Structure 1
Amino acid sequence: MIQPAINAVRPPAVFDAAQTAGLLDFHDMVDALAVAADDYAAGRIHAPERQVVPFPQGGVMLSMPATAQDIGIHKLVNVAPGNKSLGLPTINGVVSVYDGRTGQALAVLDGPTVTARRTAAVSMLGIRSFMAAAPRCVALIGCGTQSAGHAQALAALHPGVRTVVVGRDPAGARAFVKTHRDLDLALEAAGSVPAEADVVITLTTSSIPVYTEPARAGRLLIGVGAFKPELAEIGPDTLRASLVYVDDPAGARHEAGDLIQAGIDWSRVESLSAALSQGVPPGKPIVFKTVGCAAWDLAAARCALRKKEFPQAVK
Structure 2
Amino acid sequence: MSGFLILSDVELAGLGITTAEVLTALEAAIAAQARGAVQVAPKSAVLPGDGRYVMTTLATGDAPDLTVVKSVMVSPRNPSRGLPGVEGVVLVQDSETGEMLALMQAGWLTGVRTAGLSAVAARRLAAPAAETITFVGTGAQARSHLAAFCDLFPLRRAVLVGRGAGNLERLGALARARGLEVEIASTPQAALAAADIVVSSVTLAYGMEPFLDARWLKPGAFAAITDAGVPWRAEGMAALAPLYIDDQAQELENSRPMVEPALVSGDLATLVTGPALARDPAARAGFVFRGMAIGDFAIAALALDRAREARVGTLADWRPRPGSDPA
Per the TM superposition, whether the score is higher than 0.5 is yes
Distance 2:98 2:164 in 1: 50
Q: CA deviation at 1:30?
A: 0.9
Q: CA deviation at 1:172?
A: 6.2
Distance 1:52 1:218, change over 3 A: closer
Which of 182, 185, 189 aligns to 1:188? It is: 182
Distance 2:233 2:308 in 1: 42
Which of 63, 71, 94 aligns to 1:76? It is: 71
Alignment: residue pair count: 296
Q: CA deviation at 1:44?
A: 2.1
Residue deviations 1:72-119 (CA, integer Å, cap 9, x gap) = 111122332221222211222211112334332222221122111100
Q: What TM-score do the two structures reach when normalised by structure 1?
A: 0.81
Structure 2 residue identity aligned to 1:201: V
- Greater Cα offset, 284-293 or 215-224: 215-224
Residue deviations 1:248-269 (CA, integer Å, cap 9, x gap) = 113335287651xxx4416x43
Q: Which residue of 1 aligns with 2:198?
A: 200
Q: Which residue of 2 aligns with 1:244?
A: 243
Distance 1:75 1:38 in 2: 21
Distance 1:11 1:85 in 2: 36
Q: Secondary structure at the match of 1:61?
A: strand
Distance 1:119 1:237, change over 3 A: same
Q: Which residue of 2 aligns with 1:303?
A: 302
Considering only aligned residues, what root-mean-square deviation do their CA atoms show, in Å?
3.0
- Greater Cα offset, 81-90 or 128-137: 128-137
Q: Which residue of 1 aligns with 2:275?
A: 278
Query: Which protein has greater RCO, CA pairs closer than 8 Å, 6+ apart?
Result: 2
Distance 2:288 2:10 in 1: 28
Q: CA deviation at 1:132?
A: 5.3
Distance 1:20 1:264, change over 3 A: same
Structure 1 residue identity aligned to 2:267: S
Distance 1:20 1:32 in 2: 16
Distance 1:255 1:10, change over 3 A: farther
Structure 1 residue identity aligned to 2:180: A
Please say if residues 220 and 286 of structure 1, whose CA atoms lie closer than 8 Å, have aligned partners that are also in contact.
yes
Identity among equivalent positions (%) equals 23
Structure 2: give runs of 5+ residues left out of the alignment.
312-327
Aligned counterparts, 1:86-125, within 5 A? 86-125=81-120
Aligned counterparts, 1:14-29, within 5 A? 14-23=6-15, 24-29=17-22
Distance 1:78 1:39, change over 3 A: same
Structure 2 residue identity aligned to 1:164: A
Distance 1:53 1:311, change over 3 A: same
